[in-house]
A and B are shown apart, each in its own frame.
Chain A
Amino acid sequence: MSEELKVPTMAEMMAEGKQPEILFWVGSAGSYDDRAKKITKAFVKILNKANVDFAVLGTEESNTGDLAKRAGNEFLFQMQAMMNIEVLNAYEVKRIVTCDPHSYNCIKNEYPSLGGNYDIVHHTQFIKELMSSGRLTVEGNTYKGKRITFHDPCYLGRANSEYDAPRDVLRKTNANLVEMKRHKGTALCCGAGGAQMFKEPEKGDMDVNILRTQDALDTQPDIIATGCPYCNTMMSDGVKFKEKESEISVLDIAELIANS
Chain B
Amino acid sequence: MSTVAETTAKLTPEHDTRPGASVRSRLQDLLPKIVLAPSFAATIVFVYGFILWTIYLSFTNSKTFPSYDITGARAYQRLWRWTFESDPPSSWYTSITNMGIFGFLYILICLALGLFLAILLDQKIRGEGMLRPIYLYPMALSFIVTGVAWKWFLDPGLGLEQTLHQWGWTSFHFDWIKNKDFVIYTVVIAGVWQASGFIMAMFLAGLRGIDGEIMKAAQIDGATTFQLYRRIVIPLLRPVFLSAFIVLAHLAIKSYDLVVALTSGGPGGSAWLPSNFMYEFTFKRNEMAVGSASAVIMLMTLTAIIVPYLYSELREKPR
Note whether A and B form a binding pair.
no
Residue ranges of B at the interface with A (Cβ–Cβ < 8 Å): none
Residue ranges of A at the interface with B (Cβ–Cβ < 8 Å): none
